[in-house]
Amino acid sequence: MMRIDIITIFPEYFSPLDLSLVGKARVGGLLEVATHDLRGFTSDRHHTVDDTPYGGGAGMVMKPEPWGVALDAVAPPNRDGSGSIVVVPTPSGKPFVQADAERLAHAQQLVFVCGRYEGIDERVVEDARTNRHVEELSLGDFVLNGGEVAALAMIEAVVRLIPGFMGNAESLAEESYGVDGLLEYPLYTKPQHWRGLDVPDVLLSGDHARVVAWRKKLSLQRTQERRPDLLP
């Protein structure tokens, strides 16, 4: 069973993990999820997690000490090779892509480090890397207010790949990035006519070879137009 630990100053952000498919995986015993409030790892009266940046500049930086204590508790050191991966969602990380989700889906434990404010003191990751496997990953070229929403997205991408998770193995194999790395073709269901728009005839033809060829053509067309970077 995979275990996911999340360290954050906003544990409430992760209530969506009780719902939907991720919630079912938890109930089904494929997954255990625990959130940890970073402020619980502080030792001052005010549970301080941030301070002003050395060198000046806007905003606040997350202090290293609470993170050190939290990581020691949640992801004990010397577990490299134990199947534990510390994931740090950050806009300055490497791009998180489907191959990362597939790799992370094989871990025994994922520990998400969710920073807020301008970011976390650089030494937290430097220290964690001395005895743990750490990955700094970004969802894309845009800025969120913190790692929480990014962690939720990554968790959903990973959990749905856990063996035995989705009822239908085919819908995993066939979706976007599953067929030749192209974007998915358009989908239709009943009714055949709706607001003056018709389902393409080929999909009603019963000719499976034509359907496959048509879908491939539209996948290519769509990829060309929207994501030319994915084409060879």
Binding site for ligand 6GU (CB under 6 A): 89-91, 138-140, 142-144, 146-147, 150
CB of 129 to ligand 6GU, least distance (A): 18
Rank residues 143 and 187 by Cβ distance to ligand 6GU and give the closer one.
143
Rank residues 115 and 182 by Cβ distance to ligand 6GU and give the closer one.
115
CB of 15 to ligand 6GU, least distance (A): 19
Rank residues 43 and 92 by Cβ distance to ligand 6GU and give the closer one.
92
CA–CA dist 80, 76 (Å, integer): 10
Rank residues 57 and 186 by Cβ distance to ligand 6GU and give the closer one.
57
CB of 232 to ligand 6GU, least distance (A): 27
CA–CA dist 215, 194 (Å, integer): 21
Q: Cis peptide leading into 16, omega within 30 of 0?
A: no
CA–CA dist 109, 76 (Å, integer): 11
CB of 168 to ligand 6GU, least distance (A): 29
Rank residues 105 and 218 by Cβ distance to ligand 6GU and give the closer one.
105
Given the structure tokens 């359907």, which residue do they identify? 211
Half-sphere exposure of 33 (CA within 13 A, CB side): 23
3-state secondary structure 100-169: HHHHHCCCCEEEEECCCCCCECHHHHHHHHCCCEEEEEECCCCCCCCHHHHHHHHHHHHHCCCCCCCCCH
CB of 116 to ligand 6GU, least distance (A): 8
Q: If we measure between CA atoms, which residue out of 149, 120, 208, 215 comes closest to residue 176? A: 215
CB of 153 to ligand 6GU, least distance (A): 8
Rank residues 80 and 100 by Cβ distance to ligand 6GU and give the closer one.
100
